[in-house]
Amino acid sequence: MSILVVGSVFFDSIETLHGKADRALGGAATYFAVAASFFAPVRMVAAVGEDFPCEELDFLSRRGIDLAGLQIRPGLTGSWAGRYHEDMNQRDTLQLDLNVFADFQPQVPASYRDAQYVFLANIDPRLQAMVLDQLAAPGLVGCDTMNHWISGSRGELEQLLGRVDVLVINDEEAQLLSGERNVVRAARRLLAMGPRRVLIKRGEYGVIQFSADSVFAVPAFPLEEVFDPTGAGDSFAGGFMGELARSGDTSEAGLRRAIVYGSVIASFVVEDFGMRRLRALTPELIERRFRQFISLTDVNGN
């Protein structure tokens, strides 16, 4: 089963303690799509400018990403520059130019309309809703958002949440959206807004998933060095949705396995700058780390 993702494609300039990357391929939809492409075919709805390099279009295509929904528009691709603090959990935005992304209106190609697995990466909830409006009968809808929309477009976001199956956000966003500091109470409130499941990303501490009658928590894969956290959350979502689409198993056990795959992909992404580690990744490396991850968390394991 293929996956449809809508979101941003950007150039990122990143600085961390370990070095810097200049105008590297980035954006939530890009990280999601490349991560998911290791599991299932991906269809992308996004917009880039005429400056977007052919090599990168080629890279995405070779990863099995269908670009029929990628608008190439007059103007420049959006770009972002940021600098991480020493502890990598905080960053400052140094520059943000939305460029062609400023008036992006997602158009879902006819060939995408039967999409079953859909991920609404972090963009204006109005645009996320527009995508759902153009789909026939999506089977499983995942959704991300950020503080900007929670504060500025709460009404639209809450309306959207009624149409979402799995909300995937980080702990800070969960707190802001729910008004609850405690993660259990926050998740309960978020579930009451509509989604059947809430996945809360806790950075280096892993992920915790809530449904009405279950809780599942996994640590993050422990790494000796985090070079660049950019894209970790979107890649998590890509691995998670990718594994769901590959297995077609949306039972509790299927979702738990998908969360581990998402965590595995995220653990690779942060090992190098930007997309670099994803470009060199293979299914064999993913499966090997999946097995390591299972042994990391198995109470009866050795």
Applying CB under 8 A, the residues found at the interface with a second copy are: 86-87, 181-185, 202, 204-206, 208, 214-219, 222-226, 251-253, 256-257, 260, 294-302
- Name the residue nearer to a second copy (CB basis): 56 or 180: 180
Contact of 116 with 94, CB cutoff 8 Å: no
Whether 138 contacts 116, CB under 8 Å: yes
Q: How far is the CB of 260 from a second copy (least distance, A)?
A: 6
Spatial distance between the Cα atoms of 132 and 135, rounded to a whole number of angstroms: 5
Query: 92 and 82 in contact (C-beta within 8 Å)?
Result: yes
Q: Which is nearer to a second copy, 256 or 288 (CB)?
A: 256
- Tell me, what DSSP letter sits at residue 219? P
Tell me the C-alpha distance between 254 and 149, whole Å. Answer: 30
CB of 219 to a second copy, least distance (A): 4
| Closest separation in Å from C-beta 179 to a second copy | 15
SS3 of residue 279 by DSSP: helix
- Beta carbon of residue 14, minimum distance to a second copy (angstroms, whole number): 19
The tokens describing 115, both together, are 């999409």
* Least distance from a second copy to the Cβ atom of residue 184, Å: 5
Nearer to a second copy, 11 or 227 (CB): 227
Residue placing its CB nearer to a second copy in the complex, 17 or 94: 17
Least distance to a second copy from the beta carbon of 15, Å?
18
Kindly state the helix (H) or strand (E) to which residue 172 belongs, with its residue range: helix 171-178
E strands present in the chain: 3-6, 10-16, 19-26, 42-49, 65-73, 78-84, 91-97, 117-120, 140-143, 166-170, 197-201, 207-210, 215-218
CB 49 to a second copy: min, Å: 38
Which 3 state secondary structure label does DSSP give 52?
Answer: coil
105 or 302: CB nearest a second copy:
302
Nearer to a second copy, 134 or 211 (CB): 211
Closer residue to a second copy in complex, CB, 102/223: 223
Task: Pick between residue 130 and residue 217 the one whose CB is nearest to a second copy.
Answer: 217
CB atoms within 10 A of CB 62: 9
Interior CA angle at 291 toward 286 and 296, to 5°? 120
Least separation in angstroms between residue 296's CB and a second copy is 6
Strands 3-6, 117-120: parallel, antiparallel or unpaired by DSSP? Answer: parallel
